[in-house]
Amino acid sequence: MESEIRRLIGIAGPMPIADYMRLCLTHPQYGYYLTQDSIGAAGDFITAPEISQMFGELIGLWIAAVWQEMGAPENVRVVELGPGRGTMMIDALRAAKVAKDFYAAIVLHLVEISPKLRQLQQVRFESHDVPIFWHASLAEVPAGPLIVVANEFIDALPIHQAIKQADGWHERLIDIGPDGNLAFCTAADALPHFDATLPRDLRQSPEGSIYEWRADTVAFEIARCVRSDGAALIIDYGHARAGLGETLQAVAGHTFADPLLAPGEADLTAHVDFAALALSADIIGARSHGPVSQRDFLTRLGIDKRAAALKASAPERTAEIDSALYRLTGSGPEQMGELFKVLAIADPKFGPLPGFATKRR
Ligand code: SAH
């Protein structure tokens, strides 16, 4: 991957961070998601569904409740973006099975770029009796009532970065440094009228500030699919309000790595700007709900009760269940409860969605 990146820089000059990230993660031959076993205890990072079955089960109940809100259509496309090992959907289907009419209505569509993970998903879903289709992108999913879920998918989509200098914002790029290693550099020309595209309170940012953004394409695509008879649930780590600062990070073997070292061998992600996602969805004519913290979302869906029920049926697992509950809902940078946010994007005709209702005082 590194020699391919050097070759491209040699031909075209310094490369935007977004191009670098896209190549590192999804290059058909050398990309991280196509070559590495990334997810789970033995991989590079662990995700909420891999921590506890409670996560996927509650997502399953959310999907069933939204299907009811949609008027219980006879056929519903349940779409997952980036299913990874498939754990969340397997737990969701098990929980949804109690709602027989809903279960019978499901046609599953999995959007997965990695042939390796697709294969693993095929094996893991073999024993399931719902129709399943795989796709390379959301655009391939046929039209009709649909519910989309995505956990830790958006954080892997490419970001751009700009740095504020005396004459305006300049895009940050990746070049070959004087020592021969890949290094960050700054485009010579300022991005034209960039300040005008920023949220108002970031327009007077001091020199040296860094601003990150993602292309609106995916948010627009999701919103376009769900704005009539659909809903999407997006769960990821990130911020509820736009802010400054760089969050690009590389993770390999459960520890942080240098994003420019060993490209293609580490997972590259960056915080999700939920305010930007919500704005894109609203522009397209869908309605955004939230973002709310993962803790509030899971609490409102009843994770405490679910944990209590699991402990009652398997007392020997009490410590494990309590620790998973804390990991999913706890505060602070080590836990997921506040770091992770949940946003729904839906047809504006739907009322409040489960998990997003404001708390009673
Ligand atoms: N949702 C899973 C996995 C998260 S990892 C979990 O919570 O455990 C990100 C997933 O998105 C992987 O399955 C990866 O292969 C997939 N992915 C990443 N970029 C993608 C893209 N551009 N298109 C489709 N799938 C992608």
Pairing label, strands 106-111, 76-81 = parallel
Question: Residue 349's CB: how many other CB atoms inside 10 A?
Answer: 11
Answer whether residue 359 shows pLDDT above 80.
no
Query: If you measure from the C-alpha of residue 117 to the centroid of ligand 1, how many angstroms do you get, rounded to a whole number?
Result: 9
Q: Looking at residues 57-77, what average pLDDT do you find?
A: 97
Residue 233 lies in a domain: no
Per-residue pLDDT reduced to its tens digit, 69-122: 999 999 999 999 999 999 999 999 999 999 999 999 999 999 999 998 999 999
Alpha carbon of 360 to ligand 1 centroid (Å): 36
Q: Is 111 in the pocket of ligand 1 (CB under 6 A)?
A: yes
In a domain, 229, yes or no: no
Residue 123 in this model has a pLDDT that exceeds 80: yes
Burial of 255 (0-12, 13-18, 19+ CB in 10 A): exposed
Contact call for residues 82 and 153 (beta carbons, < 8 A):
yes
Cα–Cα distance measured from residue 44 to residue 25, given in angstroms and rounded to the nearest whole number: 13
pLDDT value, residue 361: 40
- Measured by CA distance, the residue closest to atom 11 of ligand 1 is 82
Q: Is the pLDDT of residue 270 over 50?
A: yes
d(CA 302, CA 293): 14
Read off the pLDDT of residues 316-352 as tens digits, 9 standing for 90 and up. 999 999 999 999 999 988 999 999 999 999 999 999 9
Residue 55 Cβ < 6 Å to ligand 1: no
Lowest-pLDDT range of 26-40, 257-271, 294-308: 26-40
Q: Which of 37, 112, 269 to mutate to test the pocket of ligand 1 (most atoms within 8 A of CB)?
A: 112
pLDDT digits (tens, 9 = 90+) for 24-35: 999 999 999 888
What is the band of 360 on the pLDDT scale with cuts at 50, 70, 90?
Answer: very low
**Ligand 1, atom 21: closest residue by C-alpha:** 113
H or E element in which residue 295 lies? helix 294-300
> How high is the mean pLDDT of the chain?
94
**In-domain check, residue 325:** yes
> Residue 358: what pLDDT?
58
The dihedral of CA 332, 252, 126, 112: what is its sign? Answer: positive
- Report if residue 279 sits inside a domain: no
pLDDT in tens, 192-243: 999 999 998 899 899 999 999 999 999 999 999 999 999 999 999 999 988 9
Rounded Cα distance between 52 and 58, Å, is 11
The minimum-distance atom of ligand 1 relative to the CA of 152 is 4
Render pLDDT for 135-186 as a digit per residue (tens, 0 to 9).
999 999 999 999 999 999 999 999 999 999 999 999 999 999 999 999 999 9
* pLDDT of residue 248 exceeding 90: yes
- Say how far apart CA 26 and CA 264 lie, in whole Å: 9
Reading the block at residue 313, the tokens are 């049926």
pTM: 0.95
- For residue 51, pLDDT beyond 60: yes
Please tell me the distance between residue 241's alpha carbon and the centre of ligand 1 in angstroms: 24
Q: Would residue 332 count as lying in a domain?
A: yes
Does residue 257 lie in a domain region?
Answer: no
Would you mind telling me the total number of residues written for the chain in this entry?
A: 361
> Is the minimum distance from the CB of 84 to ligand 1 under 6 angstroms?
yes
| Position 129 in a domain | no
Domain enclosing residue 335, as ranges: 288-345
Q: Count of domains in the chain?
A: 1
Check if 23 has its Cβ closer than 6 Å to any atom of ligand 1: no
Q: Does residue 9 fall inside a structural domain?
A: no
- Name the pLDDT band for 256 (thresholds 50, 70, 90): confident
How do strand 340-346 and strand 287-293 relate by DSSP bridges?
antiparallel
